[in-house]
Chain A
Amino acid sequence: MSKEVERSEKSKSEERTVEREAIGKTSSPEREPNTTSQFQCWLEDGKKLNPFDFVAAEHLDDTRTIGIVQEMKNLTDAQSHITSYVSHDFGKPQAKPYVERVSSVIVQVSVLRNTGEPELMMPVPSDRNVYFATSKEVRFAIGADQITGIELPAGVIKQSNGDIVPVGLDSEYLLGPQAAHINVSGISGLATKTSYLMFILLSVYQKVDNVAFIIFNVKQSDLLHIHEKNDELCKGDEELYQKLGLECEPFENVEYFLPRGVGNQPNSDRPPDEYKLYAYALSDVYDRFDLLFADVPDPYHTLDTFNSRIRDGWQHGQVVIEADRAGRYPGDRVVVRTWSDLRDVDNELLQHAYNLHPVTPPRIKRELTRLTSSPLFVNNRLQEWVYLGEKIKEIESGKIFVVDIANVHSRTQPFVVGDVMRSIDELYRDPAIENRPSKLILFVDELNTIAPAGSTSAITEQIVEIARKGRSRGTILFGAEQFKSDIHDQIVGNCGTHAIGRTGSAEIKRAAYAFLDATAKQNIMNLAKGEIVLSTPTWRSPIKIGFPKPTYKTLKY
């Protein structure tokens, strides 16, 4: 070795010693030896560590193995609980032992990556120094150097030693083609699901070109002012945005679509200054009755017959319903152009025209009345009111459409979402449509109401279709719900990235969380407000992250 190299090696080694203070040493006892996937270490007295912290252990050939803290145990030399009981003079809480027992915190670390070239996946030997991982090591451990697409800021890792490390998702795994979609779940209020999804959305908005966004607002006016700046951002939040490489600015190019309410006013809480009302004329959705009747049981497919007859018979803005030519109900014929027309069709005519059982027409009309009685369904849509299906097909890159469904009746909400989904489907299937964005992000909160587990409804199918095919065609689902187990398993299964906020014990035990190990589940149950555990295919272990407050205004109630 030349003197220069020797000096450089020496200075590197000194630098490491000066910069880093060991917090403990690895331990590989006979009964719990270190393995290729995990190692253990004891912690020096007074050092503080938490689950999800990143640590680095010295390994062979001057390499380091970086891992994430999974579990910690406080070990004493008491052999059993009985030993502890005896140590207090046979169960006297007031007994004061003369000496404190020897104890140590034992840390279980899940191996993420080794710095060797090629990577050394041998178990970490015993008695090697363990340090807090540096920012560089943390990013290396999560494969920041292996990102093939665009690095999308996903939050920050807050180490217990005060280090803040920005982490990102690979766009190829969030927006396709390698994997796609993100799903956030967790207890309402504590999990900050919407805020996190909007943060990821901001990342995509600022970092990726040729993307458009459709956001469904489901809570009050939560997302009805995303173009306005958040005045409550503190300096710390601004610094975090800076650290993450994001501009601390609200969204631009936002168009709000609010549901038509009574008196042609928006049926929305605290609407933005500029918006468009949306409504549905029969001519808009005559071919989407399957979505309208999605929650109506149809065991004998009679509704299905009705839907297809209307869809197939619609011509020049109308459908003609007439009795059959056999003459059993001769002469009767009605032209239907509006919802009122359809609701007023004679039962017998409908029965004979569509060859239905006598009980079916009253049922269809009853359901139709129930489902279309809100001001959202209009006989004649004014020019200033829009049909969402049409607008969706005009969406351009860089545009954000916010569709407010917060005050829309729960039985109609799935229809609105389903209609948008089908329009997107058509947008990407129709070769005649040019200049469509290469990626379209769909933000759907309370996904469980629209695509519940076990459902076979048309709307669920629509969402499942996006989850299934979106990866290749560029329609990406940003979904959120309280309980992951409540949503359709194909949506969960096709989702590449999962973010989980605080979750209850009963929920976390369900199959939808099978990708998490027992300790990760335990840690998720103890998350604080605003903390998220993120899992993505490129990471070997879920990681806890924090993120700044939204850049846009959220109105208080």
Chain B
Amino acid sequence: MSVFSLKVEKDRWKNVGSCLKGGELILSPFEQPIEEERRGDPDQADDDQNFPTDKNLCLPLETDLPDYKKRISDIPFTRKFKFFLDGSIRTKYVGEYVDGPISFPLIVSEVATIVIEVESSKPKPAAFKKYLYFVFPHKDTNTISDGAYDKLVQLQKQFEKQGSNTRIDFMKKKEVKRDLRSSLLGKVRSIMHSLEHETAVVSLQRKPSDWLIMDGAIRKEEFMKLENTIGLAKSFSRKPLFRLGNKTLTLPAYMKRIREGERSAIFRKETATTTVEKELVFWYERIRTFPPMEPLGGIVKIDMKLPKDKLEENDRKLIDEMSSEIYSLRLPSTYPRQRWPSCIYPIKVCEEYMSASFLSRYCLSQIGYELKNAI
């Protein structure tokens, strides 16, 4: 990542526009909000994909817990969590690009990832990456001309070689899920997760004893390869069902039992097919009660790699200590931010850091004009 210079990047945006010569760019209104503000909770949506309706039953690895819960707030622990990883996106729908009979939505996204290190109780940035991405449909989607596509591929290579802050990527047909615009956003999220992984692996020097908390669920296999890493999600799917003895409970029904400072039993999906599903265990924990509160308010979901069929005593001890440490992470609070009862402060610092690094809304909108002028 090189030093950001608006002048240099503007020239690069013009180059992107030049690749699209021959078509027409119909700009979206300047006032239109950024894409992330228009969409629902992406973390929950991502997690929903892990629990399709026919594969959402979860079985406990601990069957001896009274009422399938355990108080963890009093368990002593030594600090393990030193690093906190998060990623963020800010996307502007630039407008619709029309080239004869074909067209595609043109989006530009700022993608940032950061690791915050907590040393002597003070948070500080340990690794940071940020790029501005133009994500185009791949030519196999038949929404972009071959000529434009080829030019963009050349430019993509050029940008990578230069270590540019502006990058280009493409979304293949198989990645298209719903409409093109939403799918492009999904592609950006995928880019962000890759960048998160890169930040955590390449940019971060950590000792074997240092644990990393990544914001959100562990979804990708590459994250499973990260040692001493857990995923901590404040937004998660409501779809899983839990087999507790002879009863099957929904998530809200189960969480209703969990009091502040208690964790659930450890679970794994019954029908685990992927490596992630096979090796991943998860549990829930209530870090805050602030009535009136919905049943899942103050609940966090923790994902951890545990490639064993049975929990050993050491694993339970580790999970209990980690749960207790996660409980202590509720302070300082991030009140009154959205979902504050389930948010931990270092992740908030991550978000603030990335937010401060993003271009202003006005600057982001300027990109459309640069492209249009070049076209």
A residues near B (Cβ < 8 Å) are: 77-80, 82-84, 86-90, 95-102
Is B87 an interface residue, CB under 8 A from the partner?
A: no
- A83 touching B336, Cβ below 8 Å: yes
Give min CB distance, B320 to chain A, whole Å: 17
List 17 other contacts, CB 8 Å, given A83-B336, A97-B121, A99-B346.
Answer: A77-B352, A87-B332, A87-B335, A88-B332, A89-B331, A98-B118, A98-B325, A98-B329, A98-B330, A98-B331, A99-B122, A99-B123, A99-B332, A100-B121, A101-B332, A101-B345, A102-B123
A102–B356 CA distance with the chains assembled, in angstroms: 14
User: Known contacts being A77-B352, A97-B345, A102-B123, is A82 close to B331, with CB within 8 Å?
Assistant: no
Query: How many residues does chain B have at the interface if contact means C-beta atoms less than 8 Å apart?
Result: 19
- B121 touching A83, Cβ below 8 Å: no
Contact residues in A for B349 (Cβ distance below 8 Å): 77, 99, 102
A82–B335 CA distance with the chains assembled, in angstroms: 8
A57–B335 CA distance with the chains assembled, in angstroms: 35
Contact residues in B for A79 (Cβ distance below 8 Å): 335-336
Q: Which residue of A lies closest to B360 (CB)?
A: A30
A-contacting residues, B92-142, CB 8 Å: 118, 121-123
A-B contact pairs, 26 of them (CB 8 A): A77-B348, A77-B349, A77-B352, A80-B336, A87-B332, A87-B333, A87-B335, A90-B290, A97-B331, A97-B345, A98-B118, A98-B121, A98-B325, A98-B328, A98-B330, A98-B331, A98-B345, A99-B123, A99-B329, A99-B332, A99-B346, A99-B349, A100-B121, A100-B122, A101-B332, A101-B345
Give min CB distance, A339 to chain B, whole Å: 81
Q: Which residue of B lies closest to A90 (CB)?
A: B290
Contact residues in B for A90 (Cβ distance below 8 Å): 290
A78–B345 CA distance with the chains assembled, in angstroms: 11
| Most central of B333, B336, B348 by chain A CB within 10 Å | B333
A15–B123 CA distance with the chains assembled, in angstroms: 34
Give min CB distance, A92 to chain B, whole Å: 9
- B331 touching A87, Cβ below 8 Å: yes
- A99 touching B333, Cβ below 8 Å: no
- A102 touching B335, Cβ below 8 Å: no
Give min CB distance, B292 to chain A, whole Å: 15
A489–B352 CA distance with the chains assembled, in angstroms: 54
Contact flags B341-352 to A (C-beta < 8 A → 1, else 0): 000011011001
Give min CB distance, A102 to chain B, whole Å: 6
Contact residues in A for B330 (Cβ distance below 8 Å): 98
Contact residues in A for B333 (Cβ distance below 8 Å): 83, 86-87
- A96 touching B336, Cβ below 8 Å: no
Contact residues in A for B352 (Cβ distance below 8 Å): 77, 102
Contact residues in A for B346 (Cβ distance below 8 Å): 99
Contact residues in A for B345 (Cβ distance below 8 Å): 97-99, 101
A82–B340 CA distance with the chains assembled, in angstroms: 13
A100–B123 CA distance with the chains assembled, in angstroms: 7
User: Known contacts being A77-B352, A102-B349, is A97 close to B335, with CB within 8 Å?
Assistant: no
| Most central of A80, A82, A83 by chain B CB within 10 Å | A83
Contact residues in A for B325 (Cβ distance below 8 Å): 98
Give min CB distance, B213 to chain A, whole Å: 12
User: Known contacts being A82-B336, A101-B345, is A96 close to B331, with CB within 8 Å?
Assistant: yes
A523–B372 CA distance with the chains assembled, in angstroms: 56
- A97 touching B332, Cβ below 8 Å: yes
| Most central of A79, A88, A97 by chain B CB within 10 Å | A97
A101–B332 CA distance with the chains assembled, in angstroms: 7
Contact residues in A for B118 (Cβ distance below 8 Å): 98-99
A408–B329 CA distance with the chains assembled, in angstroms: 73
Q: Which residue of A lies closest to B327 (CB)?
A: A98
Give min CB distance, B30 to chain A, whole Å: 18
A102–B349 CA distance with the chains assembled, in angstroms: 8
Give min CB distance, B291 to chain A, whole Å: 12
Across the A-B interface, give the 8 residue pairs with the lowest CB-CB distance, nearest first.
Answer: A87-B332, A97-B331, A97-B332, A86-B335, A86-B333, A87-B333, A98-B329, A100-B121
Contact residues in B for A98 (Cβ distance below 8 Å): 118, 121, 325, 328-332, 345
Give min CB distance, A26 to chain B, whole Å: 16
A-contacting residues, B311-334, CB 8 Å: 325, 328-333
A86–B341 CA distance with the chains assembled, in angstroms: 10
A78–B331 CA distance with the chains assembled, in angstroms: 12
Q: Which residue of A lies closest to B289 (CB)?
A: A90
Contact residues in A for B331 (Cβ distance below 8 Å): 87-89, 95-98
Q: Which residue of A lies closest to B331 (CB)?
A: A97
A388–B97 CA distance with the chains assembled, in angstroms: 98
Contact residues in B for A102 (Cβ distance below 8 Å): 123, 349, 352
A79–B290 CA distance with the chains assembled, in angstroms: 18
A194–B346 CA distance with the chains assembled, in angstroms: 56
Q: Which residue of B lies closest to A87 (CB)?
A: B332
Contact residues in B for A89 (Cβ distance below 8 Å): 331
- A83 touching B335, Cβ below 8 Å: yes
A482–B254 CA distance with the chains assembled, in angstroms: 73
Give min CB distance, B211 to chain A, whole Å: 14
- A99 touching B121, Cβ below 8 Å: yes
Give min CB distance, A85 to chain B, whole Å: 9
Contact residues in B for A86 (Cβ distance below 8 Å): 333, 335
Q: Which residue of A lies closest to B81 (CB)?
A: A98
| Most central of A78, A83, A86 by chain B CB within 10 Å | A86
A353–B154 CA distance with the chains assembled, in angstroms: 120
Contact residues in B for A84 (Cβ distance below 8 Å): 332
Contact residues in B for A77 (Cβ distance below 8 Å): 348-349, 352
Give min CB distance, A83 to chain B, whole Å: 5
Contact flags B36-62 to A (C-beta < 8 A → 1, else 0): 000000000000000000000000000
A458–B374 CA distance with the chains assembled, in angstroms: 85
A516–B215 CA distance with the chains assembled, in angstroms: 51
Contact residues in A for B335 (Cβ distance below 8 Å): 79, 82-83, 86-87
Give min CB distance, A95 to chain B, whole Å: 6
Q: Which residue of B lies closest to A89 (CB)?
A: B331
Contact residues in A for B329 (Cβ distance below 8 Å): 98-99
A99–B83 CA distance with the chains assembled, in angstroms: 12
Q: Which residue of A lies closest to B118 (CB)?
A: A99
Q: Which residue of B lies closest to A30 (CB)?
A: B360
Q: Which residue of A lies closest to B335 (CB)?
A: A86
A98–B118 CA distance with the chains assembled, in angstroms: 9
A99–B347 CA distance with the chains assembled, in angstroms: 11
Give min CB distance, A18 to chain B, whole Å: 23
Q: Which residue of A lies closest to B341 (CB)?
A: A86
Contact residues in B for A82 (Cβ distance below 8 Å): 335-336
Contact residues in B for A97 (Cβ distance below 8 Å): 121, 331-332, 345
Give min CB distance, A47 to chain B, whole Å: 16
| Most central of B122, B330, B332, B345 by chain A CB within 10 Å | B332
Contact residues in B for A101 (Cβ distance below 8 Å): 332, 345
Give min CB distance, A366 to chain B, whole Å: 77
A181–B346 CA distance with the chains assembled, in angstroms: 59
A426–B328 CA distance with the chains assembled, in angstroms: 83
| Most central of B118, B121, B325, B331 by chain A CB within 10 Å | B331
A89–B287 CA distance with the chains assembled, in angstroms: 11
A378–B233 CA distance with the chains assembled, in angstroms: 98
A335–B220 CA distance with the chains assembled, in angstroms: 120
A102–B332 CA distance with the chains assembled, in angstroms: 10
A451–B30 CA distance with the chains assembled, in angstroms: 68
Contact residues in B for A78 (Cβ distance below 8 Å): 332
A90–B329 CA distance with the chains assembled, in angstroms: 15
Give min CB distance, A39 to chain B, whole Å: 20
Q: Which residue of B lies closest to A84 (CB)?
A: B332
Give min CB distance, A353 to chain B, whole Å: 89
A88–B331 CA distance with the chains assembled, in angstroms: 7
A89–B329 CA distance with the chains assembled, in angstroms: 11
Give min CB distance, A74 to chain B, whole Å: 15
Q: Which residue of B lies closest to A80 (CB)?
A: B336
Give min CB distance, B328 to chain A, whole Å: 5
Q: Which residue of A lies closest to B328 (CB)?
A: A98
Give min CB distance, B47 to chain A, whole Å: 25
A95–B332 CA distance with the chains assembled, in angstroms: 9
A101–B344 CA distance with the chains assembled, in angstroms: 12
